[in-house]
Structure 1
Amino acid sequence: LYENFVEEIDAMDNGIAPAAGEPRYALSTTLSARVGHLNPRWNEPDQDTEAGFRRAMELVGSEFLERLDFYHRAWLPARALVEEAIQNRFQVDGSGQVLELSQGGCPWKEHLFQLERELALPRPLQLVLFPDRGGQWRVQSVPAAPHSFESRLPLPEAWRGLRDEALSELAGIPGCVFVHASGFIGGNRTREGALEMARRTLELGGGTERT
């Protein structure tokens, strides 16, 4: 909660920029900025700050409680789900590099990186399987870093941008639905098909493997 809520506010209050160098765009909708917007405008006759302060207290208190509820009801259960999947990874594939999540929509990336460090995994995880809301399955490459657009092991270059029968025929895997043009994610109608896509990606190297 500190790293993902309090630290940002504390840093902004102390004039610490989020990154080195010239910012590429203005941050005008952060919680700190919205609190600042509650101050009286410079040319308003009434410069009383009390009403704005009360509104700021309500705003910050509401967002804090919402974030606390999120971490309690969603974030921590997601960590437990990812940790269980890591413990069971060899039951999914003998390489130990494919993770299977029983539920889609789980915020897994930051947990995965943290658990890799905590558990000192001998080999980095490369691919994650999970069901989507439509009952089909996805295979997604683990990013090079939690917020990176680069992938550790993207799906094979020859598959990228293809869909349905054209993809299934080229890959030799039934039920393929798509592979994104960047190779970071693909889909299959079945769990078995998505797992085979992951295994084939490991075999082929997927283009550029990053550890």
Structure 2
Amino acid sequence: MRRAARALLVMAAAGTGSGAGPKRPRPGPAPRIGTHDGTFHCDEVLACCLLRLLPPYRDAEVVRTRDPERLAECDVVVDVGGEYDPERHRYDHHQRSFALSMHSLQPSKPWTTKLSSAGLIYHHFGAQILANLLGQPEDGPVVTALYDKLYENFVEEIDAVDNGVAQTDGEPRYALTTHLSARVGRLNPRWNDPEQDTEEGFKRALELVGGEFLDRLDYYHRAWLPARTLVEEAIRRRFEVDASGAVLELPQGGCPWKEHLFSLEKELELPTPLQLVLFPDRSGQWRVQSVPVGPNTFQSRLPLPEQWRGVREEELSQLAAIPGCVFVHASGFIGGNRTRDGALQMARRTLELRHEAGEQSK
């Protein structure tokens, strides 16, 4: 999927089309996607990329203009024109009356960020695009899961940046300047460049944004989604690892388990939250890691014992009375042992110490 889709994208950006997939029923002029000229932004670039992943618009010409007469001749118009009318394929979000979000258009979705032209196109065509690229049913579980994941972790950011939605209520501690919208912005001519033509930069932006979208889809489809099955299986056999049911064991490291763990805890209605996760690293040693309090925090549910933190190798093994200890991070969020049995002993001792501390505090 990855190579074929990327080849399709590059050909579309060059205006040549791929020659693959469904054809228009009869010969005629290539369809036209209208958007504004001048300085370009990530939202209309992504909107154009997404449309070109649909068979009817695969060979589409992007017409960059603000001329109402030229826009009226386009088959679909994004990010310009002052209209949101999906029946006529008009997808602008700049009009004062526009305040739509994914949630307001699909109440089952939780996201309330105001949509840009990217979000509008994704709302109307995203499931169809994913189904075509993956060869999966549009209403099937794979497309449904990836549709949500890609909106939350790719498209929503672009919607928010374009609409000036702050990431936090307070003053941020540091600047984010390398995100996709910023990189697209830097493809525009500099303010003092003698040449202010934006067409070449727009073509480069189409390739950049389209490539990132396809790469993200490929990762979520081939790595993130299979991880969910792995984590769910581990949760179901957690009592085989430790009688407490608080320790999860994954058969291999590198698995993106955190987000799946939080969602599966809710879906499976676990009576008590998971505390620690065991997994092998690439060297064949084992790690024991605390489950974070939430998906976007460094705070741990159950950090490894304070007296172990920052201690290494033989000194740690003697202190913990567990053979093969390698390290415990200074924050206590993760530790290592040379063997699975040693890592499991570290997890069990951590649970015991918390229980003892709880008994003493009564």
TM superposition score category, shorter chain reference: over 0.9
Instruction: In structure 2, give the amino acid aligned to 1:157.
Output: E
What does residue 215 of structure 2 align with? 66
Q: 2:174 aligns with which of 5, 11, 25?
A: 25
Secondary structure of the residue aligned to 2:157 is: helix
Aligned mate of 1:11, from 156, 160, 174: 160
* Aligned-pair CA distance for 1:208: 8.9
Whole-Å separation in 2 of the counterparts to 1:71 and 1:176:
34
Unaligned runs of 5+ in 2: 1-149
Q: Which has the higher contact order (CA 8 A, sep 6+)?
A: 1
Residue correspondence of structure 1 range 57-136 to structure 2 within 5 A? 57-136=206-285
Query: Match of 2:299?
Result: 150
Distance of aligned partners of 1:23 and 1:208 in 2 relative to their CA distance in 1, 3 Å threshold: farther
Q: Secondary structure at the match of 1:71?
A: helix
Residues 56-97 of structure 1: CA deviation (Å, up to 9, x unaligned): 100000000100000011100111111111011011011110
- 1:107, distance to aligned residue in structure 2 (A): 1.1
Following superposition, the deviation at residue 171 of structure 1 comes to 1.2
Q: Distance in 2 between matches of 1:18 and 1:91?
A: 42
CA distance, structure 1, for counterparts of residue 206 and residue 241 of structure 2: 49
1:101-132 Cα distance to aligned partner (Å, 9 max, x none): 00101111111111111111100000000001
The Cα RMSD (Å) is 1.6
Alpha carbons of 1:207 and 1:54: their partners in 2 closer, same or farther (altered >3 Å)? farther
Q: Distance in 2 between matches of 1:33 and 1:128?
A: 36
Residue 313 of structure 2 is aligned to residue 160 of structure 1? no
Distance across 1 between alignment mates of 2:199 and 2:179: 21
Q: C-alpha distance in 2, partners of 1:79/1:97?
A: 18
Please tell me the residue identity of whatever aligns with 2:246: Q
Report sequence identity in percent. Answer: 78
Residue among 34, 38, 62 paired with 2:187: 38
Question: Which AA in structure 2 matches 1:56?
Answer: A
Q: Give the gaps of 5 or more residues in structure 1.
A: none
User: Which residue type is aligned with residue 66 of structure 1?
Assistant: D
Aligned residues: 209
Q: Distance in 1 between matches of 2:357 and 2:193?
A: 59
**Deviation (angstroms), 1:150:** 1.1
- Cross-structure match for 2:350: 201
User: What are the superposed Cα offsets for residues 150-176 of structure 1, whole Å, 9 maximum, x if unpaired?
Assistant: 110011111111112211112111111
Provide the rounded CA distance (Å) in 2 between the counterparts of 1:206 and 1:163: 25
Which 4+ runs in 1 deviate beyond 6 A?
A: 206-209
Which whole-Å deviations, capped at 9, do the CAs of 1:28-51 have from their partners, x for residues lacking one? 211001111111222222222111
Q: Which amino acid in the other structure matches residue 132 of structure 1?
A: D
Cα gap change, 1:208 to 1:116, in 2 (>3 Å): farther
Normalising by structure 2, we get a TM-score of: 0.56
Kept in 2: contact 1:155–1:185 (CA 8 A): yes
Match of 1:177 in 2: 326
